Every structure is written in structure tokens, then in C-alpha cells.
Amino acid sequence: MNKILCGCLLLLFIFLPIHTAGQATVEGTITSMNGEPVPNVVVSTNLRSQATIFNQIRDIVPDKNGHYHVHLEEAGIYTITIHAVFHKPAVLRMIVFDQGPVEMDIRLIPRRYNDGRHFDKRAYTDWIRAYGNFNGYDYFSGQIFESNPDGSIKTTIPAGMDTVRYQVRGITSRPGPLPGEIHTEIRVDNTFEGVILPPAGADSLQLRYDPSQADVFPRNIPGAITSRDIDLRYYNALLSFKNPENFYWFKPLYLVNRAHVPVALLRRDEPPESARSSKIFDPLYGMSRYSAAAAYRQRINVKKTVQTKTLHEQQRSALYIAYLGLLAQEARWNRIRTQPEHQLEQDSAPTVEFLKEITEQVPPRHPMWALNPDAAVQLLTFSHFDREIVRYTERMVRQHEDDMVVRNLVLKLISESADAFDHYEDMPEYRWIVQRYGENNLARKAIVAFVKAQRNN
């Protein structure tokens, strides 16, 4: 009986997921660009790769002053999403590795609504519809808007209830109340609705939107940031940290792959009057036109930053992976252009010594490798398959949880060393993947890579 119990416990231990110890809290205020609290905000947090019914996305609603507090219990990569009425959504990715409290203020940029240029076209206004509790939130039976001579649009909705709740779809990408609505509330699905109390005896209400009216929330910080300093069309939020180095719990996640990231750093230790100084902004990667030169500049900056002694060891690990991601982007961009936009300069080319630092600083199972599976391949390529680095990537093949990371590395390793073996079954890489995945599609791809490599050699 004891043997059976021990066997069951062993199987349970094998199949239970292993979570690395680590936690963090993120807190601060969420306001509009002008520093005023936003009336309705929902903060959602989700741990990457969690897909069970026991790990639902958790929602936090800040208090009336905009203060929020998020507790992230496990180590890993989190997505923090902020939705607010009349503002652009902000989606942040954060590394959590026992760093403790992070104080971060978030200034959301108000959403620019349709300016009315198309409201005179019937085909366009047909897509703008109001729907709500008067028709069960059924978009297809929603009330269609019509154009007014002054450039505004209007529709009439039933008002047979004590309280009318409505949404409008078509003016922006997300459903919500009309701009200027005084009272809004959060629905169960975390979208926002306008709330109207009809006058006594009224059987209908008119909803009207005039794009010439002043915005409820201005799109700039008074006396500080203007369109010359930062083009707000490309940003959804500005981040401000009490400790500026906490920014590196976020930034490497966006450097590692080609991603449009609509957030920028606004240093809290600088007075608002100095906001026109370019050093106050540290945009995350992806705001300007993507190019090899942009990846190069970011890569050189990362190489300098990893030498900062006050960085957390996990921040440094993340920056090393980001360096390889930028290297992969730089190479990819040059490959797709007939005339390479940027060539590696001799003094900026990655050295084997610097690449070996990555094997010392970054655990082979680090979850950030999965954000850009090509990054680990660049580690092999630019080290010219240094033996020490090959051994490191072989550990990644055996240990990393992400299948794409394993796939890319296996095919690269097999293609490079196939001529040293008579048969693919003799290769340790092939045996590892068969032992781990079985003779599946990856095994077949490995065989094809082996045959192709031998033909070429």
C-alpha cells in the first residue's frame, strides 16, 4: 500500500507544473495626460502561458483617485492591460523575478475620435450604431446614425426604462459611450457603457455626437509636452517610475522582437518644465519606422546598459536576450533589402567574448527566449558555433519549455554538424527530440535538415 501511495505521489510530482519562486507588486496612479483621474479604469493581469481554468485573468479597479495596486505572485512574464473610458488602451509586458515593489505611474493618452470627415457618407454612418439594454446589446438591431447638416451625427433610441444603458460601435475600434457622456459604468465584460436617466414620460432619447466639440480629456500635459516633443499618434501611454531602473522590467521584452509598443518613459525625477528635453523620453522599441539602423542603435545602447552595476541580475539577463533579438532583427532587415541599409561595423560587431557572457548570465530555461525564437539561433551564428556556446544551446534544446525555441535550435545544430555523422539517428540532437516529442513533425523536419545539409556539403 505504501509503495502504491509513493508511486502516485511521484507521478503527481512529475506532472505538476514547476513554478519558480518570485513575486512583485506594481502600484501607482493611472491618470489622463493632464494628471486628472480617469472615471473608469480596469487593470487586467495575465501570466504568459497560463491556460487553465484555475488561472483566470485578474482584474483590478483603481480607486476614485486613480491609485492601483497589483500583486503578481509567481515568477514569469506578465501582460498588464489598462482599459479606460475615452482613452487608448495600454498593454504592458513585465518580467517578474522577486524584485519586490515597483512604483509606476501611468498617464493614458485620450482617444482621438472620428473628426467627422466621413459622416456625410451614408455607407460610413451605417456602421455607426447604438445598442444597449433597449435591444439586448444586439449590434445588428442597433440604431443606425444619420448625418446632420452641421457635420454631427445622431440617432434616436427607445427610453422605456428607468435607466438607459448604451454603447456605440463604429466611431472607434472598441464599443463604448459617446465622447462627452458624463456618467459611464463598467460592464461585466470590462467594456464601458453610457448611462442616461430619461426625463419622466419620455419614450425616446436622442444620442448626438459633434466632432467639433471640445474633447473631454485634453491630449497634452499643460505647459510641458507638445507635438514637437512627442507624436501622440504613436503612443497610448507614458510611464513614470520612482526608480527609473524599474523600466528595465519592461523594456527588454519589447526589444527582443519586432513589436509596436505604444508606451514611453516619462522620468518622474525630472520637473514637468523640462519635458521638452529629449532625455526625458525613452520610447520602447517600435515607435518610429522600423529599420536595421534603429535596431543597431538600440543594440549598442543595450550593450552599454548591461554594464550598469545596479541592475537586478534578471534585468541584465533580459537585456542580454534583447541584444540577440535586436541582432536578429538587424540581420533580417538587411536580408530583405537589395541594398543593405546598415552593415555591422567592425568595432560594433558582437564578439565571442561578449556572447559568452550570455551563457554565464542567462539561464537556458529563461522564459524570455520564447518571445523571439530566432534570438538563440543568432547566438550560435555570430559566435561561429563556439563550442561553449554550442553546449549552452544544447542544454536549451533539452530543457526549454517553448517548442519553437527547441525547433529552431535543433534544425540549426543539425544543419551545421550533419557532415560529421553517417546517419541522422546517430546525432544526439535527433535522439533528444525523439525522446522528448516522439517521432512527430519536428523529427521529420530534422531528418530533412540532415539530408539537405549532407547534400550541400
Least confident of 225-239, 249-263, 279-293: 279-293
Looking at the fold, whether 300 and 279 belong to one and the same domain comes out as no
Residue 216 clears pLDDT 80, i.e. is over it: no
The per-residue pLDDT for 223 is: 54
**Confidence band of 23 (pLDDT split at 50, 70, 90):** confident
Looking at the fold, whether 195 and 158 belong to one and the same domain comes out as yes
**Confidence band of 11 (pLDDT split at 50, 70, 90):** very low
Rounded to the nearest integer, the mean pLDDT of the chain is: 81
Query: Tens digits of per-residue pLDDT, 81-104?
Result: 999 999 988 888 899 988 889 999
Any idea what DSSP says for residue 210? -
d(CA 358, CA 319): 10
What residues pair up with 166 in beta bridges, in sequence order? 132, 194
Looking at the fold, whether 358 and 420 belong to one and the same domain comes out as yes
Residue 188 clears pLDDT 70, i.e. is over it: yes
The answer to whether position 15 is within a domain reads no
pTM: 0.81
Query: Tens digits of per-residue pLDDT, 410-449?
Result: 999 999 999 889 899 999 999 999 999 998 899 999 999 9
d(CA 127, CA 38): 28
Burial of 340 (0-12, 13-18, 19+ CB in 10 A): middle
Q: Which of the listed residues 238, 260, 283 is the one where a domain comes to its end?
A: 283
- In residues, how long is the chain? 457
The answer to whether position 18 is within a domain reads no
How many domains are contained in the chain?
3
**Confidence band of 336 (pLDDT split at 50, 70, 90):** low
The per-residue pLDDT for 98 is: 83
Looking at the fold, whether 373 and 425 belong to one and the same domain comes out as yes
The residue ranking higher by pLDDT, 335 or 21, is 335
The answer to whether position 389 is within a domain reads yes
Looking at the fold, whether 76 and 36 belong to one and the same domain comes out as yes
Looking at the fold, whether 233 and 94 belong to one and the same domain comes out as yes
The answer to whether position 14 is within a domain reads no
The answer to whether position 117 is within a domain reads no
The answer to whether position 369 is within a domain reads yes
**Confidence band of 290 (pLDDT split at 50, 70, 90):** low
Looking at the fold, whether 46 and 178 belong to one and the same domain comes out as no
**Residue of 250, 252, 390 whose CA lies nearest to 320:** 252
Q: Which of the listed residues 228, 251, 283 is the one where a domain comes to its end?
A: 283
Question: Where are the extended beta strands (E) located within 253-317?
Answer: 263-266, 281-283
Cβ atoms within 10 Å of 409's Cβ, excluding its own: 22
The per-residue pLDDT for 344 is: 53
**Measured CA distances, 429 to 98, 194, 434, 455 (Å):** 34, 59, 9, 19
327, 302 Cβ separation under 8 angstroms: no
Range of the domain at 185: 122-209
Looking at the fold, whether 243 and 376 belong to one and the same domain comes out as no
> Which CATH number do you get for residue 100?
2.60.40.1120
Give the CA dihedral 9, 14, 15, 17, nearest 10 degrees. 110
SS3 assignment, position 136? coil
The per-residue pLDDT for 362 is: 94
Q: Order of strands, edge to edge, in the sheet holding 192-196?
A: 143-144, 129-132, 164-169, 192-196, 184-186
Residue for cell digits 512527430?
Answer: 440
Q: Which of the listed residues 231, 250, 283 is the one where a domain comes to its end?
A: 283
Residue 66 clears pLDDT 90, i.e. is over it: yes
Cβ atoms within 10 Å of 44's Cβ, excluding its own: 17
Long-range contacts at 123-126 (CB < 8 A, ≥ 24 apart)? 125/153
